[in-house]
Amino acid sequence: MRALILDFGGVMTDLGGGSGADEPPMVTATRAVRAAGLRTALLSNADGGFDQPEWAELFDAVVVSGTVGVAKPDPEAYALTARRLEVPPEQCVFVDDLRRNVDGAVAVGMVGVHHHSARGTVDELEALFGLSLRGQPL
């Protein structure tokens, strides 16, 4: 696997059960994936609001449906994100809290992770990438 693509609401915003961490666990995991030299992207069905400077340090690409005109689970949303990362879909892991969006990613060849909890998702990502992705215990 060469890339991690994440949804925003429900994934990046998951506080991990109030663990008291400095940042949400999925933000910490994303930093670790990117620090390991892998590509990262945010793929959101939001209308906008993702032009904050902090996203540049977390993501190589930000794809927002309100801006690009295509939304998950449309296959083009995933294909566009993979193209922007310059990584084939088959080398991408996609994380979303909505099953239909995960199914859409799998349909284009990505590995899909259905997010239920920060702990479970980080466990799964550690196995897929072979990396330690925790800043502190969840």
Residue closest to 29 by CA, chosen among 137, 127, 125, 130: 125
Q: What is the pLDDT of residues 5-40, one digit of tens each?
A: 999 999 998 998 765 668 899 999 999 999 999 999
Share of the chain above pLDDT 90, in %: 79
The sign of the CA dihedral 126, 132, 137, 138 is negative
pTM over 0.85, yes/no: yes
**Helix pair 99-107, 75-85: axis angle to 10 deg:** 60
Please tell me what DSSP assigns to residue 109: T
Query: What is the pLDDT at residue 54?
Result: 75
In the three-class reduction of DSSP (H, G, I as helix; E, B as strand; rest coil), residue 60 is classed as coil
* Confidence bin at 138 (pLDDT 50/70/90): very low
- Residue that wins the pLDDT comparison between 24 and 113: 113
Please state the rounded mean pLDDT for residues 48-54. 71
- Position 90 pLDDT exceeds 90: yes
**18 exposure class (CB count in 10 Å sphere: 0-12, 13-18, 19+):** exposed
* Torsions phi, psi for 24 (to 5 deg): -60, 145
Please report the pLDDT score of residue 109 as a whole number. 98
Q: What is the pLDDT of residue 19?
A: 57
pLDDT value of position 53: 76
Q: In what order do the strands lie in the sheet with 39-44?
A: 61-64, 39-44, 3-6, 92-96, 111-114
Average pLDDT, the chain: 92
d(CA 89, CA 12): 21
Tokens representing 4?
């991690």
Mean pLDDT, range 43-68, rounded to an integer:
85
